[in-house]
Amino acid sequence: MASENTARGGEQTAETTSENTQPVTGPRRRGRAPVALPVRLEAVHATYSAHLARAPLSAETRRTYASKVRGYLAWLAQATTDGLVDGDPLTDPHARDWAVRDYRTHLAAILKRSNATVNNALAAIDDFYTRTGLGPAHADRLDLPTLAPRALDGDKAILRWLRAVRSTPSARDRALALTPFYAGARIAETVRLDLDDITRSARKGTIRFYGKGGKPRDMELHPELREAYTAWIDGERPAWPGAATNPAVFLNHRGGRLTARGASDVFTTILATAGLDDHATAHVLRHTFATRLVRGGTDLVVVADMLGHTTLDHIRRYTLPTPADRREALKHLPIDR
Instruction: Say whether 186 is catalytic.
Output: yes
- The single residue of 186, 192, 287, 292 carrying the catalytic annotation is 186
Instruction: Say whether 204 is catalytic.
Output: no
Q: What contacts 10, CB < 8 A, 6 or more positions away?
A: 59
- The single residue of 212, 222, 295, 314 carrying the catalytic annotation is 212
Crossing angle (nearest 10°) for helices 59-81 and 93-105: 100
Instruction: Say whether 318 is catalytic.
Output: yes
Q: Which residues pair with 207 in a beta bridge?
A: 198, 219
Task: Answer whether 294's CB lies under 8 Å from 318's CB.
Answer: yes
- The single residue of 51, 101, 283, 317 carrying the catalytic annotation is 283
Q: Which residues pair with 199 in a beta bridge?
A: 206
- The single residue of 257, 286, 287, 292 carrying the catalytic annotation is 286
Task: Answer whether 246's CB lies under 8 Å from 257's CB.
Answer: yes
Instruction: Say whether 283 is catalytic.
Output: yes
CA distances 46 to 15, 43, 70, 79, Å, are 20, 5, 10, 21
Active site residues: 186, 212, 283, 286, 309, 318
